[in-house]
Structure 1
């Protein structure tokens, strides 16, 4: 690491000692470590805490701005993002053209044409099983170049732009709590971009499904995700049919929906048949079985039924059985994706594919009612007391602590039940609670890699002209955006992210960021503490600017001991951004 800094032997040794100490402190530092804070009022400490949880980290001047507005008023404002003007964000996103495209436009512009896909398959066969991934990448690039005129851009561009937009919104949006909550729901209702065509469906999923419903009724959000082509494809419900249904009837029904003549089914895809690009290359299930093998079997598919109960609503201890999973899957047969031949995927219900028998779910008898059965299941799950508790627990874990107080979870769940699942009111209950502001809740959460990178950019006042390198750094820390394969999403608890290698990657990034070595990002480190001089004064001034919550005595002594050995403001700032306290929020 020190070789990357291109410093002399004595300075390198000093920086190496500081780095080792900061890493050791970061791994060992408990949540309640003694912190040396500036002489601020308790209200300022509350403001700093709120900024660390309701935003992706305070920027220079944020504490003063919230103090001037009043903390309670600022929290209420963040709870109503639709009332916050956000004029500076749109220009940052202007160059990311796919964000404004419909799914149809994305598929027509970025999904490789069938001829190119056949050429790639042919080349793969020619290279054989022993071909390296690099050989295949080279072959794909060469073949894609021949079809460049038929495409608006490579498929990778769609996910790349989503990743950049996510990071830019988190850094620059004034609707910070909105971005935090959208991030929460995207993780709660996780969809893996690496599964086949989902890379082309995710743009609309976030823009048209998650964002419009992030603050409304939980039932509306759940229904919107259930009907989303991205979720239907990811968890295979689009392939789920009544095993006794007549395949010819299903094909006729889909052809009527498509406005086209029925096709003969592709082998292994039951009544739906293979539609361009769909049904291929699914990911692995958490139990290790290839979802592709499950998806290609005709008939009932239980993947989504299991996850809607275990991960989206009731929770793993929510009181359901394997029989309930099967019965829910039966209720949701026929919920599928139409418009695929026209490259315009959308939700459709095919009655011909539905299991019309009676069902029993969680002790409730479900009479045969076609699409209404699935709608009834969504209502039943969304309004269950177990769902109120599970969702409230996850929200409290995100905003308060890895193990949130039971009293707070119970009150949030009561709000959930009383307000018919009003997400805004549940979040308000959490953010205005005594438990949220309790001293033991402060600095109690370890930042995920995404939170860490964004908070460092915000704290340093960096200007981002190209977010690509930042998204790559997040991926290198173990959190590639939109690329979590299992439906569980990324963990938001400390044990998932605290390791020597992970913290070293964070410290390397912090040092590179402060030194201006991250492509597309500009930091004026010298302007962070322009009149501080050097030595202990420099360390104190930079710490106050970058970590308003304060540094522990041990961390500050480490920095002060090194800042007098020739380290400039950029290197001291990098060490502070890599410090144990900056890893926490």
Structure 2
């Protein structure tokens, strides 16, 4: 790490913006191609002068990872409703520039057997860098937001056992394939995913005789985390019966290494009763489908998933009325994800919630890279910052996934500040920003214009004009600095990225 600030040094200047939170060469080629084909910073960007957060800015900040330069204007031109509907059909969005950037991470596209030929460190880097790159550069921002959501919901810790060899396939064939589809398809795909079979010990689950107990690890998390929720109305007998349904799934070795198969000889093929519903004897590998169907149509599942989605998009304290309406959409559509997202993104609660949620570290880093129009290959230094913040992709050890609340992340602020300053000063390897280009695009052609109207930078980054206290703090800061050096401008942008206005979404 370079250019790191001590807590004492940072607090000495951050108080000007209230940043002490009052809260509980391949890269060059990619950048050239992006600029050449319209993926860089536009020549001109309009900046809001409204004291409230711009609705289009709010939409892409919550439904995605924040605006890339020019995105807010594009959404306004297109219309918010049209943008939402387009995002709900990601195949209709040309994402070839993002694909071009991400294709170098070859292992994420390979079958599990081939992945075993790679070193664990190479697989880890490819997977994490691919996830970060798609979040930064994809025009399919809602899809990427849902990938992050379901990667936590169906969390898999890649450091356990062989998960690191299997997670890329899970990400591709389970999460990304079904993130905007039918929830029951997503659950069923996850239940027999090789990575999940390793992570929650499903591959060890087999018939244990008349008095034996099957391995209940996955069955418990299926009911407690993935479907009904901890207060969803299931009991220990339901966990036991669900575990019986899941017996017999194994992983291949040899030429098909890392793929799942069903071994009838290890399956408990007797009658089961789960959540009051009978699963007849003799179902074999179809038992898992019956189990998933029973769990997914249970009313508690609709409520549980609706609450988590509203918490993700709207508030840590989900409005009960919105949760109920989203749960209704779940039930009426048979668990389709798109109707739930429409209910949330068109709701008054969503629109009224602008600026009320604290960004998690991953969202903060991605939004910084997007706001500055960074050219990055998500190299080791960027990943190291995420690790230091405690939010490395696929690095959470327990099945509940990374926390969504603000409190667990308050200890990451110093590393956020260090990242913002290092990024704006171009001290992060393979993560370059051109503040000259960005400032010119928003009408700040030189250092003198920045000194005269620094609020424009704040408005661009925060999606609203600064309030009285923020404006005074910015002016006081600028008045004390010598704007003959671009380093002062870089520091000012770093301060704005570190401010509560940017760190809240």
2:457 corresponds to which residue? 542
Deviations 1:353-384 (A, max 9, x none): 11233322222233323223222111000111
* CA spacing shift, 1:505–1:397, aligned 2, 3 Å: same
Unaligned runs of 5+ in 2: 25-46, 483-487
2:323 pairs with 1:449:
no
Give the Cα separation in 1 of the matches to 2:10 and 2:475: 12
* CA spacing shift, 1:169–1:2, aligned 2, 3 Å: closer
Give the Cα separation in 1 of the matches to 2:154 and 2:22: 33
1:418 corresponds to which residue? 332
2:478 corresponds to which residue? 563
2:144 pairs with 1:191:
no
CA RMSD of aligned residues (A): 2.5
Deviations 1:226-253 (A, max 9, x none): 01011111100111111128xxxxxxxx
Q: Does the 8 Å contact 1:535/1:560 carry over to 2?
A: no
Residue 332 of structure 1, CA deviation = 1.2
2:35 corresponds to which residue? none
Give the Cα separation in 2 of the matches to 1:53 and 1:68: 19
Q: Does the 8 Å contact 1:14/1:562 carry over to 2?
A: no
* CA spacing shift, 1:477–1:421, aligned 2, 3 Å: same
* CA spacing shift, 1:525–1:333, aligned 2, 3 Å: same
Residue 210 of structure 1, CA deviation = 1.1
* CA spacing shift, 1:4–1:486, aligned 2, 3 Å: closer
Among residues 94, 98, 104, which one is paired with 1:85 in the alignment? Answer: 94
Give the Cα separation in 2 of the matches to 1:389 and 1:219: 15
Among residues 221, 228, 237, which one is paired with 1:314 in the alignment? Answer: 228
Among residues 273, 281, 288, which one is paired with 1:360 in the alignment? Answer: 273
Structure-1-length-normalised TM-score: 0.76
2:294 pairs with 1:380:
yes
Counterparts of residues 158-557 of structure 1 (less than 5 Å): 158-244=123-209, 300-334=214-248, 336-369=249-282, 370-438=284-352, 441-497=353-409, 499=410, 501-529=411-439, 530-531=444-445, 533=448, 537-557=452-472
Give the Cα separation in 1 of the matches to 2:8 and 2:350: 42
Give the Cα separation in 2 of the matches to 1:535 and 1:80: 40
* CA spacing shift, 1:361–1:4, aligned 2, 3 Å: closer
1:577 corresponds to which residue? 497
Q: Does the 8 Å contact 1:528/1:542 carry over to 2?
A: no
Deviations 1:315-335 (A, max 9, x none): 00000111211111112111x
Q: Does the 8 Å contact 1:388/1:417 carry over to 2?
A: yes
Report which stretch shifted further, 351-360 or 235-244.
351-360
User: Which of structure 1's runs of 4+ aligned residues deviate more than 6 A?
Assistant: 12-15
Unaligned runs of 5+ in 1: 7-11, 31-36, 111-153, 246-297
Larger radius of gyration: 1
* CA spacing shift, 1:3–1:315, aligned 2, 3 Å: closer
Deviations 1:539-576 (A, max 9, x none): 21211222223444333332321222226110000000
2:14 pairs with 1:19:
yes
Deviations 1:164-183 (A, max 9, x none): 01111011111111111111
Give the Cα separation in 2 of the matches to 1:557 and 1:55: 31
Secondary structure, aligned partner of 2:400: coil
* CA spacing shift, 1:355–1:526, aligned 2, 3 Å: same
2:13 pairs with 1:98:
no
The alignment of Structure 1 onto Structure 2 pairs a total of residues equal to 472
Give the Cα separation in 1 of the matches to 2:243 and 2:92: 40
* CA spacing shift, 1:538–1:470, aligned 2, 3 Å: farther
